[in-house]
């Protein structure tokens, strides 16, 4: 589908004389926002006498303006795209996907195309008749792993009810900074960060959130963990791990800048860590009741390949234990932090916080 419309010619009327070009065009094309018109001018899609003026160019009336309108980026948000999908399970009711890191689930500002939704519409065209193409919960762009999609409205309604009843079981694997010494849970409410509105934070005014965690392997400066979601708030595991003072490796939002402890790790591990460009978080297991039969179903996939490489590099380390004291994390040392510097709040909070 072309993103560019047929060129049109407009004449600046006398009553618009003295105005800036962008203001005059907005009067003549009220169906388009001024910012969009300014974008066309900046991109050279607006000409007067074969010249490309600026948005501030003064018009006096009578000028012939050639415009090649460009479709808004969101116009392609619900277009099918041939994007490969790793399908773990599919029948006439549901589709279970192993989502790779880097794939946005639902179109939003900055990601109007190339999303899982676009891929789903290509894979199963009938999803155009299901709200949000059957998507009922999300994974962040750079979180990999299992995600279920409804192929019918009835299945979608059933899955939403299961999510609301907290009967959908989701297990994640993550690699965090620090040594977590015991299993436990973080039970702290999550809401919008009071100062950075694109972030979430532990917030007394937020919604209840519970993450259970279990230590699978402990290393000199890292811990490999299993996390189970009792609730599904936006960025839940990432925020709760930060709150635990054990931020997820590679997390660009909730990690700790400059945390890389150079004197505690080898050159090889340092290289692997620097090359790891996303949060080390993977949805490895998913369990639910089939929306049509009620049969309990469960799927499990392998750890994402890039996390396997990272884990192998960490395991290969041989750092004397006495050098790791600075990375001890005790889960009894919780603290409320308003501005301390995964989830499916889809039907409660209709914002894409990726």
Tell me which residues are annotated as active site: 140
Q: Which residue in 31, 105, 172 sits closest to 353, CA to CA?
A: 105
- Residue position matching structure tokens 């407009």: 10
- The string over 333-350, giving b where at least 16 C-beta atoms fall within 10 Å of a residue's C-beta and e elsewhere, is eeeeeeeeebbbbbeeee
- For residue 203, CA distances in Å to 48, 190, 257, 301 come to 54, 5, 22, 33
CB 248 within 8 A of CB 279: yes
Judge whether 11 and 27 are in contact, CB under 8 Å: no
Sequence-ordered list of residues with C-beta below 8 angstroms from that of 236, at least 6 positions apart, any chain: 190, 200, 209, 211, 229, 342, 343
């Amino acid at each position: 589908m072309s993103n560019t419309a047929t060129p049109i010619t407009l004449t600046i009327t006398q009553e618009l004389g003295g105005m800036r070009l962008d203001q005059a065009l907005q009067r003549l094309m009220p169906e388009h926002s001024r910012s969009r018109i300014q974008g066309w001018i900046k991109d050279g899609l607006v000409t007067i006498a074969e010249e490309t003026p600026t948005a501030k160019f003064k018009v006096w009336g009578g000028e012939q303006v050639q415009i090649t309108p460009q479709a808004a980026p969101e116009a392609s948000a619900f277009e099918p795209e041939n994007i490969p999908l790793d399908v773990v399970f599919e029948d006439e009711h549901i589709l279970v996907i192993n989502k790779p890191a880097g794939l946005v689930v639902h179109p939003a500002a900055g990601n109007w195309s190339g999303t899982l939704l676009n891929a789903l519409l290509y894979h199963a065209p009938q999803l155009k008749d299901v709200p949000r193409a059957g998507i009922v919960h999300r994974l962040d762009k750079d979180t990999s792993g299992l995600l279920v999609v409804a192929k019918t409205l009835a299945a979608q309604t059933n899955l939403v009810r299961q999510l609301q009843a907290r009967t959908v079981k989701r297990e994640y694997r993550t690699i965090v900074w620090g040594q977590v010494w015991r299993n436990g849970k973080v039970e702290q409410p999550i809401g919008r960060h009071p100062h950075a509105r694109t972030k979430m934070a532990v917030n007394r005014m937020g919604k209840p959130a519970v993450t259970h965690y279990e230590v699978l392997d402990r290393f000199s400066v890292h811990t490999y963990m299993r996390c189970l979601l009792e609730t599904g708030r936006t960025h839940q595991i990432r925020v709760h791990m930060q709150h635990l003072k054990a931020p997820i490796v590679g997390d660009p939002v909730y990690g700790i800048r400059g945390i890389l402890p150079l004197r505690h790790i080898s050159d090889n591990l340092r290289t692997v860590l620097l090359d790891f460009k996303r949060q080390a978080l993977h949805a490895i297991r998913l369990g639910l009741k089939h929306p049509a039969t009620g049969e309990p179903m469960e799927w499990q996939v392998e750890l994402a390949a890039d996390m396997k490489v990272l884990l192998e590099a960490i395991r290969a380390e041989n750092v004397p234990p006495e050098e790791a004291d600075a990375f001890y994390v005790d889960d009894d040392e919780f603290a409320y932090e308003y501005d301390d510097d995964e989830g499916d709040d889809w039907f409660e909070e209709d914002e894409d916080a990726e």
